[in-house]
Structure 1
């Protein structure tokens, strides 16, 4: 049985918040540069130049890529042979988020209650935390800062099996075209297929944590990812003001579902697809 203290977890999460806000992942950066090379719209080329330069300045100067430093979403994999001592795991993670957002001068965007008084918690907590128990004695932490300009444009479609692959493609494109330029494209699109309504939404979030250069292990879903990317890039949405680089990638995650169901969820991420990873 391996032991880890919550203080270490808090310290790591704090650093991860700052890293995610400042440093665009290399795969996303390279995809933006590739998009700039193939972008056909002169205006789109200028926009991509500005987006790329912005990410370079953020990395060089340890400054946020975007003023919306997001709501923190964390995926945990906790080894069943790991003992966490010194306090509560959830409290330790939220303490890390509070520390990171305060020390990093990141905008605090979380309100404690969603409808009536909407009072800001002043430290960007609580985080959204998904926990999975796995074999082993390690703690894997994946963190993303999810901005809401793009989050607000996601959606769920509850299809039936008869809708099939064509129905899935139509559902995804309907959500993307309704979002249009509002999610600050070029987008990274996470698609969750299967499960229940809530599970599909979870899968669509989880899909955004995968490198955008990595295709789904299932060849049929990998082919669908590529097809959807091509269809989205034909919409003309482009990098904010029109063009051919509407999305950088489509990542699909799927799960078993009911014989009567075919849930499809889409989570859209802006060009600042920010995340950080640790294994403790």
Structure 2
């Protein structure tokens, strides 16, 4: 049995919260630069240049790349042989979020009640997803999720008869409806299968995958590429100013489902697809 102190979890989450908001992942930064090289529309090229410059300033000066520093989404993989000592894991993670948003001078965007709308003042609670896995490692991934893009995400319970074309139509329609509101170029996470709740989880988890990775199943890898091509042919472009770069990546995750259902979820992320992780 491996023992991990709750205080270490807190300090690591505090660090990840700040680093995720300051430093764009390399795969995302590289995709933005590549898109800029491939753009033909001058306004799109200029817009991508400004996005890249903004990310570089944030990286150099350790300041947030966006004023919406997000609601903290945390994916936790905890080994069966791990014991958290000195406190609860939920409490340790939320304390790390609390400290990270305070010490990092990050905007606090969480309200304690969805209708009363009173700010909690420390960006807690975070959204925490747990998976129990074999082994003695604790993997924590922090992903601040801004709501300009979250608000443009959608779920639809398709019928099996809607089939593949129904899935394609829903993904494209969702991006079209988002238009410039989700700060394109986008990363589009797609969940297919599972249940009403599971499909949204896997759609968001898809956003954590490196932009350099394709779905390991050839069929879904091809579908990712097809959807990306169709999305980029919409002409929405960076920040909605037109061009061929509406999205940087479509990432699909799937899960078995019921014979009577075909759930599909599209979780949209802006160009600032922020996430950092640690393994303890």
TM range (shorter): over 0.9
SS in 1 for 2:197: helix
Q: Deviations over 1:125-158 (max 9, x none)?
A: 0000000111001100111000000000000111
Q: Tell me, yes or no, if structure 1 residue 163 matches structure 2 residue 162.
A: yes
Could you give the per-residue CA deviations for residues 218-257 of structure 1, whole angstroms, max 9, x where no partner exists? 1101000000000000001100111110000000010000
Q: Quote the Cα distance in structure 1 between the aligned partners of 2:78 and 2:176.
A: 38
Q: Distance in 1 between matches of 2:242 and 2:70?
A: 25
Distance between the aligned counterparts of 1:198 and 1:237, measured in 2?
A: 30
Aligned to 1:79: 79
Following superposition, the deviation at residue 29 of structure 1 comes to 0.2
Q: For residue 250 of structure 1, what is the aligned residue in structure 2?
A: 250
Q: How high is the TM-score relative to the length of structure 1? A: 0.99
Q: Which residue of 2 aligns with 1:2?
A: 2
Give 1:172 deviation, angstroms: 0.3
1:154 aligns with 2:147: no
- The runs of 5 or more residues in structure 2 that have no matched partner are none
2:123 is matched with which residue?
Answer: 124
Cα deviation code 1:152-174 (max 9, x no counterpart)? 00001111111111110001011
Alignment-derived partner of residue 266 in structure 1 = 266
Q: Which residue of 1 aligns with 2:52?
A: 52
C-alpha deviation, 1:18, in angstroms: 0.4
Q: Which residue matches 1:213? A: 212
Aligned residues: 279
Which whole-Å CA distance do the structure 2 matches of 1:21 and 1:58 have between them?
8
Q: Distance in 1 between matches of 2:207 and 2:134?
A: 24
Separation of aligned partners in 1, 2:221 and 2:142: 24
**2:30 is the alignment partner of 1:61:** no
With the length of structure 2 as denominator, give the TM-score of the two structures. Answer: 0.99
Paired with 2:40 and 2:163, the residues of 1 have a C-alpha distance of 33
1:80, CA displacement in angstroms? 0.6
Aligned to 2:70: 70
Give 1:228's aligned residue: 227
Cα deviation, residue 40, structure 1: 2.0
* CA distance in structure 2 between the partners assigned to 1:103 and 1:182 by the alignment: 30
5+ residue gaps, structure 1, are none
Shift of 1:41: 1.4
Q: What is the RMSD computed on CA atoms of the aligned residues?
A: 0.6
The 3-state SS of whatever aligns with 2:128 is strand
The residue that corresponds to 2:277 in the other structure is 277
Q: How far apart in 2 are the matches of 1:142 and 1:229?
A: 26
Please state how far the C-alpha of 1:198 moved relative to its aligned partner: 1.1
